[in-house]
């Protein structure tokens, strides 16, 4: 039977004749390579060394590659964790080539224009309500029980303080009368009356002194005026 062998790494492509019952390992021996360094692929799949050859098939001889030490997947995962994940997709483009930023902006503008009439109506309603509040009569309530109670308490405390002060002054006057400085105890009303009389006497004295000073000034002015024509006649 005849098979075709293609070896790109060995730079040759050739047809070989094999007896019936030959295996893939016989093909590798005919090519002159070791099965530990090369493998055979036919029909897009890898063939085992004990697999029988088929007449008219094409066999590709490929070199084996040494495997890495591994760990590449863990490196990729580490790099993926370091890469910043963003949720901002506005710089991306849609299928028509427009940026998503512009598309979203147009949608927002359309929604804003749709709600413009509602905003104007709400604004007019607020203005009417504000005007109605200004035109309506104010409702003042002066009933404050706490304030009234405070005023009542203050008046009571003031009255008590005045009574205590009067009692203390009366005791002082009694003590003074007992010591002999006063002949008789002067009540509070008498003390107040005497103080009023003293104030009236002081006012009368001030009035008399002011009138006398004004009279003296008038006399001095008249004498000065009389002296002036005499000096001019001379």
The 10s digit of each residue's pLDDT in 140-197 is 667 778 888 898 899 999 999 999 999 999 888 888 888 765 444 444 444 444 445 5
Average pLDDT score over residue span 41-56: 85
The domains located in the chain, with CATH, are: 2-63 (3.10.20.90), 158-201 (no CATH)
Q: Write out the two tokens for 218.
A: 């008038």
Cβ neighbours, 10 Å, residue 174: 13
Q: Are 47 and 24 in contact, with CB atoms under 8 Å apart?
A: yes
As beta bridge partners, residue 213 has none
What was the pLDDT predicted at 121? Answer: 92
- The answer to which of 2-16, 32-46, 163-177, 184-198 has the lowest mean pLDDT is 184-198
pLDDT at 174: 87
CA-CA distances (angstroms) from residue 9 to 53, 64, 84, 201? 21, 11, 43, 144
Residue 221, C-beta contacts closer than 8 angstroms, at least 6 positions apart: none
Tell me how far apart the alpha carbons of residues 92 and 219 are, in angstroms, rounded to a whole number. Answer: 112
- C-alpha pair distances (Å), 4 with each of 8, 36, 37: 13, 21, 20
CB neighbour burial string for 67-93, b if at least 16 within 10 angstroms, e if fewer: eeeeeeeeeeeeeeeeeeeeeeeeeee
């Amino acid at each position: 039977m005849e098979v075709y062998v293609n070896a790109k790494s060995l730079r040759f492509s050739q047809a070989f004749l094999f007896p019936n019952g030959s295996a893939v390992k016989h093909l590798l021996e005919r090519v002159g390579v070791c099965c530990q360094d090369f493998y055979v692929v036919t029909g897009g799949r890898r063939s085992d060394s004990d697999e029988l050859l088929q007449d008219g098939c094409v066999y590709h001889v490929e070199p084996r590659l040494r495997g890495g030490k591994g760990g590449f997947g863990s490196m990729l995962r580490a790099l993926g964790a370091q890469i910043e994940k963003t949720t901002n997709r506005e710089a991306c483009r849609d299928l028509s080539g427009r940026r998503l930023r512009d598309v979203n902006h147009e949608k927002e503008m359309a929604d804003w224009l749709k709600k413009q009439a509602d905003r104007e109506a709400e604004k007019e309603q607020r203005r009417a309500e504000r005007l109605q509040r200004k035109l309506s009569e104010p409702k003042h309530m002066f009933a404050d029980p706490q304030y009234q109670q405070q005023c009542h308490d203050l008046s009571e405390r003031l009255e008590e303080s005045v009574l205590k002060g009067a009692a203390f002054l009366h005791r002082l006057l009694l003590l003074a009368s007992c010591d002999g400085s006063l002949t008789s105890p002067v009540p509070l009303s008498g003390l107040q009356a005497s103080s009023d009389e003293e104030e009236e006497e002081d006012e009368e004295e001030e009035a008399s002194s002011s009138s006398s000073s004004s009279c003296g000034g008038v006399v001095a002015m008249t004498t000065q005026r009389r002296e002036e024509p005499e000096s001019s006649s001379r």
